[in-house]
Amino acid sequence: MSHDYQAIAARILENIGGAGNIRQAAHCLTRLRIALHDESKVNGDALRQVALVKGHFSNAGVFQIVIGAGDVDRVYAEMVKQGSVARATIADVKASGDAKQNRLQQLVKVFSDVFMPILPAIVIAGLLMGANNLLGAKGMFIADKSLLDAYPGLSGLWGLINMMANTSFVFLPALVGWSAAKRFGGSEILGIVLGLLLVHPDLLNAWNYGKAAAGLDGASVPYFDLFGLHIEKVGYQGQILPILAAAWVMCRVELWLRPRVPNAVQLLVVPIVTIAVSGFLALAVIGPLARHLGIAVTDALVYVFNLAPWLGAALFGALYAPLVLTGMHHMFIAVDLQLIASQGGTFIWPMIALSNIAQGSAALAMFWLARNANDKNMASTSAVSAFFGITEPAMFGVNLRHKLPFYAALAGSACAAVLISLGHVKASAIGVGGLPAFISIIPQYIPLFLAGMLVALIVPFGLTWLLARRQLATAAQAEAAQHA
C-alpha cells in the first residue's frame, strides 16, 4: 500500500506547532524524535488521526511520534524538506531535550544512560540464575528432592550455568565503570579498569568481609597501611553506588588533566594519574561512603515494607507505571541490585514484573474492544511487548490514550503487588519483566508469584472490558449522532 508521505509530513508539521516549533529532529528505526520549543502547541488528538501515526509521547524532553519501520525515514525526509529542518542525530536531539529538564530529571537521565547499555547482560544473567534455581530447588519437580539430587549428572551443567550467571554480577562494577565513563565523557577502558579494581581478588568479598568483621575463626579485616592511613581491603562485588560515584570522579580527573598535559606525554601521564587518584579515592573515601549510603537506603526501604507491606506494595504497584512515564523507574535497577547483594534477593523487581503484565493485560482488552484495524494492530503488538517487559508502546500508544485502561492496569498492579508482598516474594536476580519473570523468582515463592501474575492479568483485563467498553460505546453513539 502506497502512502502520500508529503501530505503526512505536512499534517505532522501542522499538528506539532509548525516547523518553527522544532529545535532539532531525527528518527530511529520506528519513531520520529523531535526536540520542540513548546510542547503545549502539539495537537495530540489531531496528530493521532494522521495516517501512519500509531501514537506519540514525550520522554526526557524529546517528543516522539511512532510511525513504524520503513515509513519513518520517508516521513522524516519530507519533514526536513518541507520545514527546512536541519538534519540531526538522535544524540543531538537527546542532548537538546536534556537541556530542558530539571535537576531531578537530569539525575534520573544519568541512571538511565548508564544502566540501559548494560541491561542485556543483567537480564541474561538473571535468566541463567533462574534456570539454576529451578535445577537446585527441592520439591519443585520431585518430592523432597531437587533435580540435582535426582540426577547427579546435571551437576556439571549446573556449575557451568552458575558460573555464566554469576559473571555479570561478580564483575558488575566493571560493566558500570565502562558505561558510566562513556556517559560522563571519560575513557571507557579506564572505567573498566577502575571497576575491576573494586572487585580485585585481593579484596574481601561481602561474605568474607562479614566473617572478618565479626571476628569469626579469629579473622580480621586486612588493610593497606599508607603512612599510617588504614584503608580496608574490601571489594564491592555486585554494588552500584561505589563505582558510579568513583567513575564520575575519575572522569572529572581525566577531563581536567587532558588540556593541561602536553600531547607528547599524555598517554603516559593521564591514565596513570587518573587511575592512581580515582583508585585511591574509590577505596579510601568513595567506596566506604557509598557502601554505607546504599545499605542505609535499602534498609530504609526494607523497614517500610516490613512495617506495612500491604501499604508499601499498594503504593509501589500503583505508582510504578507513572514513574515509567517520567523515566524515574531506571533508578530502581540500582536498588534491586543493592538488595540482591545485601539481602540475598529483591522484593521490588517482582512487583515491577507484575506492573508490566498489568499494562499488557489492559492493552490486550483494548485489542478485543477496538473497532478498526489500526487500533487492533497497535493494541495487540503493544500487549505482546508489555508481556515481555517493554511497556512504553502499551502505555503511550493504547492505555493512556483511552485513560481508563491505564487506571485499570494501575489497580491490577497494586492488587497483585499486595498479594506477593504479604507472602514476602523475592527474586534472586533481575530477569525479563513480564510473563517469563517467574524464572528469576526464588523457587519457594514461585507458586505465590504465579498467583500474583493471574491477578495482574485478570483484574486489568476485567476492569478495562467493563469500563472502556462503556466509554467506547458512548463515544460511538456521540459520533453517530454528530453525523446524523
pLDDT attached to residue 373: 77
pLDDT attached to residue 483: 45
pLDDT attached to residue 328: 58
List the catalytic residue out of 28, 99, 107, 476.
28
pLDDT attached to residue 216: 58
* C-alpha–C-alpha distance, residues 241 and 236, integer Å: 9
Structural contact between residues 436 and 339, judged by C-beta atoms closer than 8 angstroms: no
Structural contact between residues 302 and 338, judged by C-beta atoms closer than 8 angstroms: no
pLDDT attached to residue 482: 43
Per-residue pLDDT of the chain (484 residues; tens, 9 = 90+): 567 899 999 999 999 999 888 888 888 878 898 988 888 899 888 888 888 887 787 776 788 888 877 788 899 999 988 888 878 777 677 766 666 666 666 666 677 678 778 877 776 776 677 677 677 766 667 777 778 888 888 888 888 888 887 788 788 899 999 999 998 989 999 999 999 999 998 888 766 765 676 565 667 778 888 888 888 888 887 777 889 899 999 999 999 999 999 989 998 899 999 999 999 999 999 988 887 776 676 677 778 787 888 888 898 888 888 877 655 566 677 778 778 877 788 898 999 999 999 999 999 999 988 877 777 887 888 888 788 777 767 876 788 777 889 999 999 999 999 999 999 999 988 877 788 888 889 888 999 999 999 999 999 999 999 887 776 665 555 444 444 4
Helices 241-257, 331-343: crossing angle, 10 deg rounding: 120
pLDDT attached to residue 138: 66
* C-alpha–C-alpha distance, residues 332 and 70, integer Å: 35
pLDDT attached to residue 257: 95
Structural contact between residues 337 and 238, judged by C-beta atoms closer than 8 angstroms: yes
Computed from CA positions of residues 7, 12, 18, 20, in that sequence, does the dihedral angle turn out positive or negative?
A: negative
Q: How far is CA 359 from CA 67, 171, 363, 483, in A?
A: 21, 33, 6, 34
pLDDT attached to residue 191: 96
pLDDT attached to residue 454: 96
pLDDT attached to residue 167: 85
Maximum alpha-carbon separation in the chain: 91
pLDDT attached to residue 451: 96
pLDDT attached to residue 88: 78
Q: How far is CA 228 from CA 130, 224, 225, 282, in A?
A: 46, 9, 6, 18
pLDDT attached to residue 235: 83
**Which residue is listed with cell 560493566?**
175
pLDDT attached to residue 11: 92
Helices 172-184, 103-115: crossing angle, 10 deg rounding: 130
pLDDT attached to residue 293: 77
28 labelled catalytic: yes
Helix and strand counts by DSSP (H, E) for the chain: 22, 6
